[in-house]
Amino acid sequence: MKNLGFILFVTLLAMISCNSNYSEKKTKPEFVLVIHGGAGTILRENLSPEKEEAYLNKLNEALLAGENILKTGGSSLDAITEAILIMENSPLFNAGKGAVFSEEGIVEMDASIMDGRSTEAGAVAGVHTIKNPILAARAVMENSKHVLLTGDGADSFASKQGLEIVDSSYFFTEDRWKSYKKAKAENEIKKYGTVGAVALDSYGNLAAGTSTGGMTYKMKGRVGDSPIIGAGTYADNNTCAVSATGHGEFFIRNVVAYDISALMKYKELPLKEAADYVILDKLKNIGGSGGIIAVDHEGNYTMTFNTPGMYRGVVTSSGLIDVKIFGETEK
């Protein structure tokens, strides 16, 4: 009986061990797309049910647009571009149509994109007339010898590339104008969101993109982290793809997007651990507010932020689709 009991005990341990090993094995998803629409003081009491529904619907629309590309064998670059276009074309987000106004009462938009396969990148900053800055950033990457174009030069390049150029009146929205007038009256710059997307496609390639109108009542010529490769955007097939949102000056000084990738590469930290350290520890301790979305080469993803909320969503090949606005940092 003692021998039988011992045999049963050993068998049980073996079964537990097998089950544990099995549960730790994770099948790499065929594709993952993660998006954000900005982080900040986003509180439920400040958002009407109608406005909350509008944000959730638009986030879902952006996710589904990217998913349709990925599930039919499209590239991560195409998927993030399409998702960002949906948000740039919506007045809900601070990018494209919903861009905020600078101190001069005009829009000065920034965007960047990066290909994790080649680590090629493109960006534009301080543009005024390009309907979709993310397309201009991609054109810089694919059709020029440069990485970053600014101001009138970037606008002119986009026009020559056949991208849609619009009159400045296109970007006017009543809500953004009211915010501008309030900030001007108070003589105070207001931080206001960004949009971005990261993806892993079925070929194992990563990509990241970010687009923004910057800060309300910002100084003429101010450029934040969104068009700065390594600060607001970064992608490398060997590590991860990252898009950031928050107080850009802090993200530039701390090279946030690249820092997460570097921690994975040189310290071999898992994606979430690297992101948590940078956003919840390093950045927060010096007063930097904001968050990131990221996906690694194995399909792990995180949406990490140190603010009350972040417009965010994820869709994967396993059928997961989820959008959120409020809440604590993802765990």
11, 81, 119, 194: which one is catalytic? 194
194 catalytic per annotation: yes
Dist. CA 226–CA 192, nearest whole Å? 13
Angle ∠(295,154,158) on CA atoms, nearest 5 = 85
Report, as residue numbers or ranges, the catalytic residues: 194
